[in-house]
Amino acid sequence: GAVVSQHPSRVICKSGTSVKIECRSLDFQATTMFWYRQFPKQSLMLMATSNEGSKATYEQGVEKDKFLINHASLTLSTLTVASAHPEDSSFYICSARDSRGEQYFGPGTRLTVT
């Protein structure tokens, strides 16, 4: 089946630093990737839709200047959390949609900001 990878799987950083998370579709091309955030014991909340070669579309309440998304190729999307703060600590999960419209999730990145 289709595989989506995320790197890193876990990151701990100090408040004020920026963190980049990569999402790759390993065996298929994804024109659209999605970024979700999941706080403990809560559901996945869609943050933004990332389209290859164009600007990401952000959900209401998500700061685009803080969560920078780049979808430079059909297999790679990156999420950069700029000037991270403790309240940004969360589980960030990407998904990639293939040509049939099926969506595959990455394993997630656990971000802890101290």
Smallest gap, in angstroms, from Cβ of residue 16 to other proteins? 28
Is there a contact between 91 and 108 (Cβ–Cβ < 8 Å)? Answer: yes
Please give the Cα distance from 44 to 65 (Å, whole number). 21
Smallest gap, in angstroms, from Cβ of residue 53 to other proteins? 18
Tell me, residue by residue from 50 to 89, as one string, x for binding to other proteins by CB under 8 A and - for no binding.
Answer: ----------x-----------------------------
Which of 28, 35, 67, 104 is close enough to bind other proteins by CB under 8 A?
104
Is there a contact between 49 and 57 (Cβ–Cβ < 8 Å)? Answer: yes
DSSP state of 87: G
